[in-house]
Amino acid sequence: MKVENPQKSRPLLGAHVSIAGGVENSPKNGFDLTCDCIQIFSKNQSQWKSNPLSDKNISGFREGLEKYNLKSVLIHDSYLINLASPDPAKHKMSLDAFIDEIDRADQLGVRQLVFHPGSAMESSEDQGLSKIAASLNSAISQRPHSQVRLLLETTAGQGTNLGCKFEHLAQIIHQVEDKSRMGVCFDTAHALAGGYDLRSPENYPQVWEKFGQIIGLDYLAAFHLNDSKKDLSTRVDRHENIGKGFIGAGMFKMLLNDPRFAGLSMYLETPGGDQAYLDDLKTLRSLFL
């Protein structure tokens, strides 16, 4: 985890922005939302197949990042991908699509790709975690020169989804051969629903102590900042606007002012569209001391 002069640096704040009309439009969309950083899909996230990125897409995107002074970008992979799938055909489709996501990130010059670890389906938890790790080893070995860091996202643990426990992510990372390619994106709403309560000044440091002991703070690479429509340990993934859910503004204030996370990128995935993003970013910036 990189910390840049924690006494002066603040986290980079942004949101998941639209790529409608072409990925090259996303930097302007982020600028209009007052983003320091943006998260995007690199393609239509609800389809397995996608058109290759054109030279216009790539050059326009890279030029837009510079023009609008965006500091970092995170690509979120397709929700269709399940690297834990026990079905051979679906797993192959998922792995192929995941490698395509890596390729697209490299083409765009994006250095981080975030993904939900996967769903065990009818297999056991340990089998699912091992399948994810094996998938990552395969992807990394097939793209050994890629510059993309792969970020496991903490999940709410809904259904058979893996990743709601720090131990899940640690078990995956432990089995990945090239650990330099791995990282973690911490989703605040998912953490609460998954059983980690950061809301009080007493609990907040305890959760991060557990994260450090089980996974290691060096793996922490980005945040999803979301309030939650559902309470602690409900294992239900429902995002809410900042300060309007079960997390509340207090936890976000602690997080934004935590010197360990100064300089890290934090992305909104809250509901309500562009105006809600503008309001949530304004709220977050008001909490930074």
Extended strands (E) in the chain: 12-16, 37-40, 72-76, 112-115, 118-119, 149-153, 161-162, 182-187, 220-225, 227-228, 239-240, 265-268
Identify whether the C-beta of residue 81 lies closer than 8 Å to the C-beta of residue 98.
yes
pLDDT at position 1, please?
52
Cα–Cα distance, 195 to 211 (Å, whole number): 13
pLDDT tens digits, 48-87: 988 999 999 999 999 999 999 999 999 999 999 999 999 9
Mean pLDDT computed over 155-168: 98
Instruction: Report the distance separating Cα 30 and Cα 25, nearest Å.
Output: 9
Give the whole-angstrom CA distance, residue 243 versus residue 229: 11
In a domain, 7, yes or no: no
- Buried residues in 114-144 as b, exposed as e (16+ CB within 10 A): bbbbbbbbebeeeebbbbbbbbbeebbeeee
Query: Which one has a higher pLDDT value, 10 or 31?
Result: 31
The answer to whether position 177 is within a domain reads yes
Does 231 reside within a domain? yes
Q: Is the dihedral of CA 202, 207, 208, 210 positive or negative?
A: positive
Cα separation, 232 vs 194, whole angstroms: 7
The CATH number of whichever domain residue 139 belongs to comes to 3.20.20.150
Total structural domains in the chain?
A: 1
Half-sphere exposure of 172 (CA within 13 A, CB side): 31
Q: How confident is the model at residue 9 (pLDDT cuts 50, 70, 90)?
A: confident
Domain that holds residue 38: 12-287
Number of H helices, E strands in the chain: 9, 12
**Which residues lie across from 15 on neighbouring strands?**
38, 268
* Mean pLDDT computed over 187-208: 98
CA–CA separation, 233 and 196 (whole Å): 8
pLDDT at 2: 45
CA 228 to the chain's CA centroid:
16
Rg (CA), the chain: 18
pTM of the model: 0.96
Residue 283 lies in a domain: yes
Look at residue 207 and tell me if it is in a domain: yes
| Assigned domain for 5 exists | no
Compute the mean pLDDT over every residue in the chain, rounded to the nearest whole number: 96
Query: How far separated are the first and last CA of the chain, in Å rounded?
Result: 22
Q: Given pLDDT bands bounded at 50, 70 and 90, which one contains residue 4?
A: very low
Residue 5 has pLDDT above 50, yes or no: no
- pLDDT, average across residues 118-122: 98
Residue written as token pair 């559902």 = 230
Pairing of strands 149-153, 112-115: parallel
Q: Report yes or no on 162 lying in a domain.
A: yes
Q: Is residue 4 part of a domain?
A: no
